Chain A
Amino acid sequence: MHHPRPIDRPFWSPGVLVMLAVMIAGGAALAVRFVYGLGYATNLSNTNPWGIWIGMDVASGVALAAGGFTTAALAHVFGRHAYEAVTRPALLTAALGYTFVAIAVFVDIGRSWAIWKPIFFHNYNSALFEVAMCVMIYLSVLWIEMIPILAERWGAKIPLLGRLDRGLSGFMWIFIILGVVLSCMHQSSLGTLMVIAPTKVHPLWYTPFLPLLFLLSAFAVGYPMVIVETNLATTSLGLHDEMEVLAPLSRFTIVTLGLYMGLKIWDLLRRGALPLAFDGSLAANSFLVEVGLGVILPWTLLLFPSVRRSRRGLFFAALFVVGGVLLNRVNVFLVSYRPQTQTIPYFPSIGEILVTAGAVATIMFLYRVLTTHAPVLSAPKQEDMAR
């Protein structure tokens, strides 16, 4: 196995410039939110108090960062060291992802400056309280887990970093396990959030099993997310494709995605809600896309060894899983959310979209910065392979 190392590729590429432009646009929209208020920058209303900043940035962001804890569990806890090559990039994505989840929360809550209050004022009945605490702690855990990587590169230059690294190395196992535990807690509690609103959530999605469904789908999306981002990174940076790690990784997804699919379909049948999926409404169609293209199709594809072994096949199967889970979160928090007094359905404003796009661009930008300068990726360069 190759040891992770900084990728010394020229940093400024056309892609990076595009990212920068999107980031600036997002920043401008952000300024509008803080100067004129949520009402001006967003399409939120008394009937739809949550929009894409919660449904996408927070809920989907948390789900798609699941690669971090699922790979850590596999490689470090279950001792499958062959997969260590993907733990570092997955950890980096998770650390960046959660940083932006925290920022999205900061932007979305009306009293951003009061964001620390849940630390002192607790409501143990509230699923959101638990999510808030877990995300806060997990974010710190993720950056603690990042310390060895950063120290490897900058430890000599920044003495504090080096000292932290040495001091923590004996305890790192605690943080790794803690990361997995915290993830299981808040991934499921994100699903609990909507359990309190049975009169507003469409019956295709409303079920007391929401927390378990959220947890299982987080398990399921972890490796596909790693596959997608590794593919994007190795392609854009001209690295070897790492298929010898990714192909076996996808076999776990057959199990996890299968469990999720099984529970989801069983629950729909149990509640007799399945016929609603075919009534032609927007919600019903969104549901069909979510489950058909996002769950059943990729699960079936992954059953074929030929798909798992082909780089393109694996990439698209994984992409469908990722898209399916993303759509699931958007469906649960936005599409399915139909208060009875609602008069105008919610659709995100330009400002909301720009901020979200800006956040995604910033994550990709920072991923690029850190993989360029810190030892994150292990894949050898294509030209070195040829030699």
Chain B
Amino acid sequence: MSIPRRQFLKTAGFGIAAMAAGPAHAWESKAPDDPLGCLVDVTRCIGCRKCELACNQVNKLPEPETPFEDMRVLDAKRRPTAGAYTVVNRYYPGALDERGQLSPTFVKIQCMHCQDPACVSACVTGALSKKENGTVHYDASRCIGCRYCMVACPFEIPAYDFHDPLTPQVRKCTFCLERLEDGKMPGCASICPTEAITFGRRSVLMRLARERIEGDPARYENHVYGEHEAGGTSWLYIAGQPLAKLGFPAVPDEPLPRRSETIQHALFSYLWSPAALFATLALTMKTLSGSKKDKE
């Protein structure tokens, strides 16, 4: 194997230049400044499943097997699915009512619209994106169906059309993006009879959450879930119990994309390491193969 000399020097030169250009600045959050969000006050939720109904209608989802008025579905713990972007679950975290009975707590779950979403960082083609207004948006026309977003999401939210053989989609709460763009509230927030879901700017919601907690410390756990979880989320929760007792997965405060993106960028920004490796190997090949007898 012989390497034409001119070609070789050129390639090696590129590699060394790339090495000098060098990589890697520290990871930076790409979170929008003051996105829209929702504050879910778990203590206000009465488990009426109206939000499920509204979500079904505004997103034109298929009719469920059991009607939304049937409260027996609350007997089992459910997760969001391809046909239901939000579900309400009932928990008995230990508090007793005035008659000494365990009193239920109801929690609605849906996509948290993370500030630095793992799903967006993971998505091969950028089919998932974080919009300036806070919504984490899915564009089916870019999706290849690899389901890496589902692997990445720490809240274990995205669901998949596993039964569609050719055009399945990733399904999750859309934050009713179209309604927001029309200046309307999300379907679930607008229907909620007890105002358990408050829609607004995240900074405003944070202030409201703090006010409620401070105004009634006996009613609330002193924690706004989503303030720091996964680096912060657009949807926030306050509750009478730790959210871990209400079926929420344990999630670190570090934004999940930080580590993997740091690795990716340190190694591959400007393709510096592949270029350097190429140059080194070409040099090695030239020296080692060239010196010995060299045929083939």
Contacts and interface: CB of A to CB of B under 8 A. Distances in A.
B133 interface: no
Given A46-B159, A77-B284, A172-B1, A199 B289 contact: no
A273 interface: no
A198 B263 contact: no
A12 B286 CA distance: 44
Contact of B144 (A37, A118, A197, A337): A118
A178 B156 contact: no
B151 interface: yes
Interface string B12-41: 000000000000000000000000000000
Contacts of B260: 125, 127, 192, 195-196
17 contacts: A37-B162, A46-B79, A46-B82, A46-B156, A47-B79, A79-B288, A111-B167, A114-B145, A132-B124, A177-B281, A180-B281, A182-B274, A188-B267, A198-B256, A199-B252, A337-B151, A340-B249
A258 to B, nearest CB: 22
Interface in A152-177: 170, 172-174, 176-177
A113 interface: yes
Interface in A95-113: 105, 108-113
B124 A47 contact: no
Contact of A77 (B147, B265, B285): B285
Contacts of B162: 37-39, 42, 44-45
Contacts, number: 210
B94 interface: no
Given A77-B289, A123-B123, A341 B156 contact: yes
A47 B285 contact: no
A170 B4 contact: yes
A174 B11 CA distance: 9
Nearest to B296: A84
B226 interface: no
Contact of B125 (A38, A108, A117): A117
* Dominant secondary structure at the A interface: helix
* Dominant secondary structure at the B interface: loop
A177 B285 contact: yes
How many chain B residues sit at the interface, stated as a range, is 35 or more
A304 interface: no
A180 B278 CA distance: 8
B168 interface: yes
A330 to B, nearest CB: 15
Contact of A125 (B151, B249, B261): B261
A76 interface: yes
Contact of B264 (A115, A130, A184): A130
A128 interface: yes
Residue picked from B144, B154, B167, most chain A C-beta under 10 Å: B144
Given A46-B150, A185-B268, A196-B118, A109 B125 contact: no
A37 B292 contact: no
A181 interface: yes
Contact of A121 (B2, B125, B154): B125
A46 B259 contact: no
A119 to B, nearest CB: 10
A181 B126 CA distance: 26
Contacts of A44: 160, 162
B251 interface: yes
Residue picked from B152, B260, B296, most chain A C-beta under 10 Å: B260
A113 B281 contact: no
A46 B118 CA distance: 16
B163 interface: yes
Contacts of B292: 79, 81
Interface string A237-254: 000000000000000000
B277 interface: yes
Given A129-B124, A198-B256, A110 B161 contact: yes
B146 interface: yes
Contacts of A367: none
A274 B103 CA distance: 42
Interface stretch (A28-36, A221-229, A307-315, A354-362): A28-36
Interface in A129-153: 129-130, 132
